[in-house]
Amino acid sequence: MHKDDLLKHFDEQVASDLEFDVIRAMLAEKCVQPSAKARAHALQPLRHRKTIVRLLEEVEELRRIRTEGVLFPSIDFEELESELRMLEVKDSVLTESGFWRIARASRMVNSILEGLESAGNVYIRLGEICKDVYKTLDIIEPIDKVFDAKGKVKDEASEELGYIREDMVSLKRASNRNFSKTMKGLTEKGWLADIKEGFVNERRVLAVESTYKRRVKGNVLGSSNTGTITFIEPSSVVSINHELEILRDDERKEVRKILRGLTRVIRDHFDLVCNYNKVLVEMDFVWARTSLAIELECSLPSLPKSTGMKLVKAYHPLLVKSNRELGLKTHPQSFSLSKAGRLLVISGPNAGGKSITLKTVGLLQVMLQSGLLVPLNSASEMGLFDSILTDIGDNQSIENQLSTYSYRLSRMKHFLKVADGKSLLLLDEFGTGSDPELGGALAEVFFEELYDKGVYGVITTHYANIKSRAAELKQAVNASMLFDRESLNPLFKLEIGQPGSSFTFEVARNNGIAQKLISRAKKKMDSRKVELDTLIGDLQKEKSQVAKLATRQLRAEVNAEKATVKAEKSAKKNAEKTDALNKAIEQHNKDVTRGRKMTRFIDSYDPSVSPKKLKEDFIRYIATEKARIKKRKEEEAKKPDKKKQAEASPISTPAKKRPNHRIEDIKTGSTVRLRTGKERGEVLALKGKKATVLFGEFKTVVALEKLSFIK
pLDDT tens-digit readout, 312-350: 999 999 999 999 999 988 889 998 999 989 999 998 776
Mean pLDDT of 51-62: 96
Task: Please give the average per-residue pLDDT across 46-70, as a whole number.
Answer: 93
DSSP string, 322-349: HHHHHT-----EEEEEBTTB-EEEEE--
Same domain, 343 and 478: yes
Query: Among residues 524, 550, 577, which one ends one of the domains?
Result: 524
Query: In angstroms, rounded to a whole number, what is the distance separating the alpha carbons of residues 94 and 121?
Result: 35
Given a cut of 50, is residue 513 above it in pLDDT? yes
Model pLDDT, residue 406: 79
Q: Tell me what the pLDDT averaged over the chain comes to.
A: 84
102 and 161 together in one domain: no
pLDDT of 607 reads 67
Return the amino acid letter for 621. Y
Question: Mean pLDDT, to the nearest integer, of 143-159?
Answer: 93
Which of 168-182, 359-373, 566-580 is least confident?
Answer: 566-580
Average pLDDT over residues 188-196: 91
Name the burial class of residue 223, with classes exposed (0-12), middle (13-18) and buried (19+) by CB atoms within 10 angstroms of its CB.
middle
Q: What percent of the chain has pLDDT over 90?
A: 50
> 202 and 137, same structural domain?
no
Evaluate whether residue 179 is within a structural domain: yes
| 183 and 118 housed in the same domain | no
Under 8 Å between Cβ of 230 and 206? no
Q: For residue 94, is it within any domain?
A: yes
Question: For residue 397, what pLDDT is reported?
Answer: 45
Where does residue 545 rank: exposed (0-12), middle (13-18), buried (19+ CB within 10 A)?
Answer: exposed
Does 241 lie in the same domain as 110? no
Residue 527 predicted with pLDDT over 60: no
Task: Determine the distance from the C-alpha atom of residue 671 to the mean position of all C-alpha atoms in its chain, rounded to a whole number.
Answer: 30
Q: Which of 25, 55, 61, 24 is nearest to 282 (CA)?
A: 55
Number of Cβ within 10 Å of residue 67's Cβ equals 11
Residue 132 in this model has a pLDDT that exceeds 90: yes
* 53 and 133 housed in the same domain: yes
- Residue 399 binned pLDDT confidence (cut-offs 50, 70, 90): very low
3-state secondary structure string across 225-266: CCCCEEEEEEHHHHHHHHHHHHHHHHHHHHHHHHHHHHHHHH
For residues 319 and 269, membership in a common domain is answered with: no
Q: Angle at CA 145, nearest 5°, toward 140 and 149? A: 80
**Is the model's pTM score more than 0.75?**
no
**Terminal Cα distance for the chain, rounded:** 43
Looking at per-residue pLDDT, the higher value among 534 and 515 belongs to 515
* 567-579 average pLDDT score: 78
Q: Same domain, yes or no, for 433 and 477?
A: yes
From 524, 551, 568, give the residue that closes a domain. Answer: 524
Residue 536 located in a structural domain:
no
Say how far apart CA 563 and CA 569 lie, in whole Å: 10
In a domain? residue 302: no
Task: Give me the CATH number covering residue 229.
Answer: 1.10.1420
In a domain, 626, yes or no: no
* pLDDT score recorded for residue 652: 45
| pLDDT confidence of residue 138 | 95
Is residue 627 assigned to a domain? Answer: no
Could you tell me where the beta strands, DSSP code E, fall in 367-439?
381-382, 387-391, 423-427
Residue 439 near residue 431, CB atoms below 8 Å: yes
The least confident of 2-11, 324-333, 592-601 is 592-601
- 226 in a structural domain: yes
For range 243-263, the mean pLDDT: 95
Q: pLDDT band at residue 398, thresholds of 50, 70 and 90?
A: very low
Residues 328 and 399 placed together within one structural domain of the fold: yes
Domain CATH for 472: 3.40.50.300
Average pLDDT over residues 656-668: 74
Counted domains in the chain: 3
267 and 246, same structural domain? no
Q: Could you tell me how far CA 621 lies from the centroid of its own chain?
A: 80
Are 288 and 377 contained in the same domain?
A: no
Q: Which domain holds residue 428?
A: 309-524
Q: Phi/psi at 88 (nearest 5 deg)?
A: -75, -15
477 domain-assigned? yes
Q: How far apart are CA 40 and CA 51, in angstroms?
A: 17
In the predicted structure, residue 294 carries a pLDDT above the cut 90 = yes
* 235 and 270, same domain (yes or no): no
d(CA 398, CA 376): 38
Residue-wise pLDDT for 198-252, tens only, equals 999 888 999 999 999 999 999 999 999 889 999 999 999 999 999 999 999 999 9
Query: Does the pLDDT value for residue 634 go beyond 90?
Result: no
Task: For residue 428, give Cα distances in angstroms to 19, 408, 436, 438, 686.
Answer: 14, 11, 16, 18, 38
What is the structure's pLDDT at 605?
63
| Residue 375, pLDDT above cutoff 50 | yes
